[in-house]
Amino acid sequence: MERKRLMMMFVFGILVAGFGLAGEGLVSAKDLQIAVMVPNGVDPYFTAKRYGYEKECEKLGAKMLFYDAGGYANVNKQIGQVEDVLQRGIDGIIFGATSTDGTVPVIDKVIDKKIPLVIDNLDSATKKPVLRIMKNGILVGQLRAVYIVDRLKGSGKVLLLPGPSAVTLCQEEYQGFITYAKHFPGIKVITEWTASSPDAGMKTVEGILQANPDLKAIATFSPPLTVGACKAVQASGAKPGDILVVGQMLDAGIDDYMRKGWVSATVMCDHIEMAREAVRMVVRQIKGELKPPQLVLIDHYLVDRDTLDKFEKSGSSYPKEWRR
Partner 1 sequence: MKRKKGLASFNWSRHGTPLAFGLMIIVFALINPAFLSVRNLSQTLRQGAILFLIVSGQGLAILTRGIDLSQGSVMSLVSVATISSIYILGTYWGSLVGVLFGGLCGFINGVLIGYLRIPPILATLGMLFIALGAELVYTGGVTLTNLTDVDQIRLFWFGGGMLGPVPVPVVFAVFTGLILYFVLRCTMFGRHLYFMGANPDAARMVGVKANRVLVIVYTLSGLLAALGAFFLTARLSMGFPHLGEAWLVLSIGGAVLGGISILGGEGGIWEAILGTLVIVFLDNGLIVSGVSSFAREAIIGCIIILACMASVIRRRS
Query: Under the rule (CB under 8 A), what is the footprint of partner 1?
Result: 40-42, 44, 46-47, 50, 68, 70-71, 165, 192-195, 197-200, 202-204, 206-208, 210-211, 213, 223-224, 227-228, 231, 234-237, 251-253, 256, 323-324
Cα–Cα dist 324/322, whole Å: 7
> Could you tell me where the DSSP H helices lie in 89-167?
104-112, 137-151
Residue 263 C-beta: closest distance to partner 1, Å: 14
DSSP state of 185: T
Nearer to partner 1, 194 or 248 (CB): 194
Nearer to partner 1, 137 or 201 (CB): 201
Nearer to partner 1, 149 or 232 (CB): 232
Nearer to partner 1, 176 or 224 (CB): 224
Residue 46 C-beta: closest distance to partner 1, Å: 7
Cα–Cα dist 48/43, whole Å: 9
Nearer to partner 1, 43 or 91 (CB): 43
Nearer to partner 1, 5 or 323 (CB): 323
Residue 304 C-beta: closest distance to partner 1, Å: 20
Q: Taking the CA of residue 112 as centre, how many other CA atoms within 13 Å lie in the half-sphere pointing to its CB? A: 8
Query: Do residues 243 and 278 make contact, with C-beta atoms less than 8 angstroms apart?
Result: no
Residue 53 C-beta: closest distance to partner 1, Å: 13
DSSP state of 238: P
Nearer to partner 1, 69 or 267 (CB): 69
Q: How many other C-beta atoms can be found within 10 angstroms of the C-beta atom of residue 296?
A: 14
Adjacent-strand bridge partners of 245? 218
Residue 204 C-beta: closest distance to partner 1, Å: 6
Residue 71 C-beta: closest distance to partner 1, Å: 7
Cα–Cα dist 39/97, whole Å: 6
In sequence order, which residues have a C-beta less than 8 Å from that of residue 131 and are 6 or more positions away? Answer: 116, 117, 118, 119, 281, 282, 285, 290, 292, 293, 294, 296
Nearer to partner 1, 126 or 196 (CB): 196
DSSP state of 62: P
Q: Which residues of 211-247 are buried (b: 16+ CB within 10 A; e: fewer)?
A: eeeebbbbbbbbbbbbbbbbbbbeeeeeebeebbbbb
Residue 58 C-beta: closest distance to partner 1, Å: 16
DSSP state of 217: E
